[in-house]
Structure 1
Amino acid sequence: MAKHPVDEVLPAGRLALLGLQHMSIMYAGSVAVPLIVGSALKLDPATIGLLVNADLLVAGIATLVQAVGIGKLLGIRLPVVAGATFTVVNPMILIASQYGLPAVYGAMLASGVFGLLIAKPFAKLIRFFPPLVTGTLLLVIGVSLLGPGAAMIAGHDPASPDYAAPSHIGLAFGVLALLVLFTRVLRGFANQIGPLLALAIGLVVAIPMGLVHWDGLGAAGWFGLASPFHFGAPAFPVAAILSMCVVMLVTFTESTADMIAVGEITGRPPTDADLARGLATDGVSAVLGGVMNSFPDTAFAQNVGLVRMTGVRSRWVVAVTGGILVLMGLVPKIGAFIAAIPEPVIGGVAVVMFAMVAAVGAQNLRTVEFSGNHNTFIVAVALGVGLLPAFAPDIFKHFPAWLQTICGSSITVAAVLAFALNLLFNHLGRRAEPDLLEAP
């Protein structure tokens, strides 16, 4: 019996290049979390470097577990790449400011245990995540990520003299043009590594432009990893634990949508047992993060887009990505080399990957029946309200901190609304009637 494409083990050279490609796509997004948190808490560069190393190590372990699996306990066994979730940024900063970093990692430990306990019950809700819900959520994820993608290209500080520099934008669009060209003219394996080729050429072009800085490579050590509980014994304030448990629920919701999308793309839709193992891995990553001074992980949407774009469905490719991330976490010099790739180069490819996630969501919605029901209304409300934090990040800044954790994320708001409205209109007292937004 022929192996399913998800289980296919490709030749070693292809595995290495395709795994490297997945890592290149997710790297900037993953390390952004420790960089943002470290800078906000005014940690010294050496400590921020340790956070980055720990982040890569835990993300690598989680990615390996998701791809390979551990018995019937952990890992969805799909090409799912794990990376630090942005949902954790504000809660971590708020908790650290009020209680200190030991409380951050104590709360993260507790939230990881909470995640392990609720993974199986949460996975049972998969029947309430039909294409109407997952399609809307993926659409919101893809669109909301375009903001960070644009920041990679233009810069993060509008007051900076080189913000939106034509050379940076031209470089990003040049990389994007190469990606389009490679996708159109290349065939076979060369087509599958088109994004990696575009990144490599973009890096070479960026060197004479003065955008590639090798200082970090020389300063980075050959081995570097923070010891467990680097900031001291963990503390467990109740408010901090509750906040991080909310983060875990948000992480589960995002991962659920991404895992279902990967299952549909690869032709192996996850069962509730598969999903439970995948979500439990998110819980384990939070436990590991609490011990190793890292961050909770979620399934990375841009890598979902890459699977869709390249058509490479093997989970062993992603296992190689996990191995590379572990190596980078243990050997800072490797991470420093990847970090030298300018953000406009990565952004030129990343915006396509982000938009690909939105396109997958739109494809899901094509299978939804919109006649004689309120499904168009459900999508409109979830999309409209869900995207508010993406376009107005400070819209909820005067609300309590715990509510900001929920409402400050477009993904969370859209997930809650799509899930709740689907229940309200399609499960509770369901009755057929014309959609309020249906054209006459």
Structure 2
Amino acid sequence: MRSKRMSSSEATDSRTDSVVLYGIEDRPPLGEAIPLGIQHVLAMFLGNVAPPLILAGAVGSVTGETTFLVQMALIVAGVATLVQAFPIGPVGARLPIVMGTSFAFLGPLIGIGSEFGLAAVFGTALLAAPVEMVMGVTLDRFRRYFPPLVTGIVVMLIGLTLVPTGMDYAAGASAGPGAEGYGSVLNLGLAGLVLLTTLVLNQFFDGFLRVISVFVGIALGYVVAIALGVVDFSGVAAAGWITVPVPLKYGLSFPPSAVLTMAFLYIVTGMETIGDISGTVSATGRDATKEELRGGLLADGVMSMFGAVFNAMPNTSFSQNVGLVNFTGVASRYVVGIGGVALIVLGFVPKIGAVVSAMPDAVLGGGALILFAMIFSSGARIIVQNVTLDHRNSTILALSIALGLGVSLRPELLANVPGEVQTLFGSALVTGGISALVLNVVLPGGGVGLGPTEHTDGLTPEMPMQIDEEMADTASNDD
């Protein structure tokens, strides 16, 4: 295994389009790897703990259980991340995939929890999770419906739909417009400081300062926020020192209608996982392999079942960390493994987790905006590298993005349809992703059998390199 960092010329070789400084199997020195792993935790922390916080607030039956649910979410995310980076048999992608609690399930689970109780939340998550595992096992048949055009659109939509969340955090209130302090000069200043620091370090410096740019930006913003007296540490004093996991603390129940809703959502998050894996691997200048996609999907399903047993919401790959890999050029799974261990420690020690939780939203928002934008960029890279944007493919790209963003920007469009339809198709990712999937199947000339490792322009990944070499040889002969 290599431990030597790639040179800038190697990282940006035009033949591979790789942007990595550390490859998947590279092991950065421990002094670099630890802060890089913590950087991954910072990128996903609030996104991981926010769903259980919101769920606990919405479902009255778990009043007083908020801290326990948050700690379980951290522990399960850490274990799931380790499984993705270091697979157990076929379960895991062997990639730098960070796992966490999925926002995609939050709205439906609030409805399920309010109507049937928390036992149904975890029961339906447990019973429906094998749907995603089946997606992984049947990948040979399933995969042909997700060529680079479709996966690229899904990745782009993931980034685009996360941008409003990043803006809300940057404005200082994850609850959105109307919240106290939203868009204040102080919050915008903190977010701007983090964003500017991160951007300068990433673009004008080389080496370790570049790859640690997000961490430095967020750390600086946090220190400045403390100096300005806008950090509330009361939660740290109130937090305990140890959390003991209690399996099936709230029991399990399986309302049929709720199970069907969850099953469909697992299909959607499976599409998101395929996009995240593709976006991560694209940073290294290649396409995701069948084994990586299958292992990632299996890990999503298995770890969501594990999470349900330990009172955590379904887990899936975290897109902001895909953006972090593409932004920093650090694709080492060993770095992500350190992040997984850090999540487990945070889960078992609420006092430490409370210190991170006290970070103002605006500080995280400054870094999150860049990461979310980089997710969009990685999706665009998948399409540019693998797809010829002819009339057909350009139509699919444009219409899928338009429909996805349309339902997100104008949710009133679905006001007169049943609530279940609103929940499902009110998501830009669902509407845009399904649109891309269906259009790619029904429009003529698509070659639905193309897999993610095949190019729609008829060239294999090796052919451009061969053509370049032949042209170079011809030029030499001419000379």
Question: TM-score scaled by structure 2?
Answer: 0.85
Does structure 1 residue 262 correspond to structure 2 residue 280?
yes
**How far apart in 2 are the matches of 1:327 and 1:2?**
28
The counterpart of 2:258, out of the listed 236, 240, 257, is 240
Give 1:85 deviation, angstroms.
1.1
Tell me what 1:436 maps to: none
The counterpart of 2:362, out of the listed 344, 365, 368, is 344
Q: Is the 8 A contact 1:123 1:275 kept in 2?
A: no
Which amino acid is 1:170 matched to?
G
**How far apart in 2 are the matches of 1:78 and 1:312?**
12
**How far apart in 2 are the matches of 1:161 and 1:198?**
25
The counterpart of 1:194, out of the listed 213, 216, 224, is 213
Which amino acid is 1:363 matched to?
R
Question: Secondary structure of the equivalent of 2:60?
Answer: coil
Tell me what 2:43 maps to: 25
Give 1:157 deviation, angstroms.
4.6
Tell me what 1:102 maps to: 119
Query: In structure 2, do the counterparts of structure 1 residues 394 and 122 end up closer, same or farther at CA, with 3 Å as the change threshold?
Result: farther
Q: Is the 8 A contact 1:137 1:361 kept in 2?
A: yes
Tell me what 1:173 maps to: 192
**How far apart in 2 are the matches of 1:359 and 1:123?**
28
The counterpart of 1:296, out of the listed 311, 314, 325, is 314
Does structure 1 residue 139 correspond to structure 2 residue 139?
no
Task: Say which is worse superposed, 308-317 or 390-399, in terms of deviation.
Answer: 390-399
Give 1:206 deviation, angstroms.
0.5
Deviation readout 1:219-261 (Å, 9 max, x if unpaired): 11111245111213x1111111111111111110100011011
Does structure 1 residue 83 correspond to structure 2 residue 100?
yes
Residue identity (%): 37
Task: Say which is worse superposed, 331-340 or 180-189, in terms of deviation.
Answer: 180-189
The counterpart of 1:126, out of the listed 136, 143, 163, is 143
**How far apart in 1 are the matches of 2:412 and 2:169?**
20
Query: In structure 2, do the counterparts of structure 1 residues 65 and 182 end up closer, same or farther at CA, with 3 Å as the change threshold?
Result: same
Does structure 1 residue 15 correspond to structure 2 residue 33?
yes
Deviation readout 1:80-134 (Å, 9 max, x if unpaired): 1111111101111111122111111111110123332332114643333222212
Whichever of the two has the greater Rg, that structure is 2
Task: Say which is worse superposed, 143-152 or 261-270, in terms of deviation.
Answer: 261-270
Give 1:399 deviation, angstroms.
3.4
Q: Is the 8 A contact 2:168 2:177 kept in 1?
A: no
Q: Is the 8 A contact 1:59 1:84 kept in 2?
A: yes
Question: Secondary structure of the equivalent of 2:339?
Answer: helix
Which amino acid is 2:310 matched to?
M
Q: Is the 8 A contact 1:225 1:329 kept in 2?
A: no
1:28-107 correspondence runs (5 A): 28-42=46-60, 46-71=64-89, 73-107=90-124
Give 1:393 deviation, angstroms.
4.5
Deviation readout 1:157-177 (Å, 9 max, x if unpaired): 533342211110111011111
**How far apart in 1 are the matches of 2:180 and 2:156?**
34
Task: Say which is worse superposed, 83-92 or 397-406, in terms of deviation.
Answer: 397-406
Query: 1 or 2 for the larger relative contact order (CA 8 Å, sep ≥6)?
Result: 1
Question: Secondary structure of the equivalent of 1:266?
Answer: coil
Query: In structure 2, do the counterparts of structure 1 residues 329 and 362 end up closer, same or farther at CA, with 3 Å as the change threshold?
Result: same
The counterpart of 2:292, out of the listed 253, 263, 274, is 274
Does structure 1 residue 369 correspond to structure 2 residue 382?
no
Question: Secondary structure of the equivalent of 2:88?
Answer: coil
**How far apart in 1 are the matches of 2:324 and 2:309?**
31
Q: Is the 8 A contact 2:95 2:292 kept in 1?
A: no
Q: Is the 8 A contact 1:153 1:172 kept in 2?
A: yes
Query: In structure 2, do the counterparts of structure 1 residues 295 and 123 end up closer, same or farther at CA, with 3 Å as the change threshold?
Result: farther
Give 1:388 deviation, angstroms.
2.5
Q: Is the 8 A contact 2:131 2:267 kept in 1?
A: no
Question: TM-score scaled by structure 1?
Answer: 0.92
Q: Is the 8 A contact 2:440 2:446 kept in 1?
A: no
Which amino acid is 1:223 matched to?
I
Segments of 5+ residues of structure 1 without an aligned counterpart are: 431-440
Which amino acid is 2:283 matched to?
I
Q: Is the 8 A contact 1:123 1:273 kept in 2?
A: no
**How far apart in 1 are the matches of 2:309 and 2:410?**
35
Which amino acid is 2:29 matched to?
P
Question: Secondary structure of the equivalent of 2:64?
Answer: helix
Give 1:270 deviation, angstroms.
2.5
**How far apart in 2 are the matches of 1:107 and 1:338?**
31
Tell me what 1:113 maps to: 130
Question: Secondary structure of the equivalent of 1:145?
Answer: helix
Task: Say which is worse superposed, 239-248 or 177-186, in terms of deviation.
Answer: 177-186
Give 1:60 deviation, angstroms.
0.8
Q: Is the 8 A contact 1:141 1:358 kept in 2?
A: yes
**How far apart in 2 are the matches of 1:364 and 1:401?**
35
Give 1:403 deviation, angstroms.
2.4
**How far apart in 2 are the matches of 1:188 and 1:336?**
32
Query: In structure 2, do the counterparts of structure 1 residues 45 and 338 end up closer, same or farther at CA, with 3 Å as the change threshold?
Result: farther
- CA RMSD for the aligned pairs? 2.0
Query: In structure 2, do the counterparts of structure 1 residues 247 and 35 end up closer, same or farther at CA, with 3 Å as the change threshold?
Result: same
Give 1:201 deviation, angstroms.
0.7
Question: Secondary structure of the equivalent of 2:100?
Answer: strand
Segments of 5+ residues of structure 2 without an aligned counterpart are: 4-21, 449-479
Tell me what 1:434 maps to: none
Which amino acid is 1:208 matched to?
A
Give 1:268 deviation, angstroms.
5.1
1:144-159 correspondence runs (5 A): 144-154=161-171, 155=173, 156-159=175-178
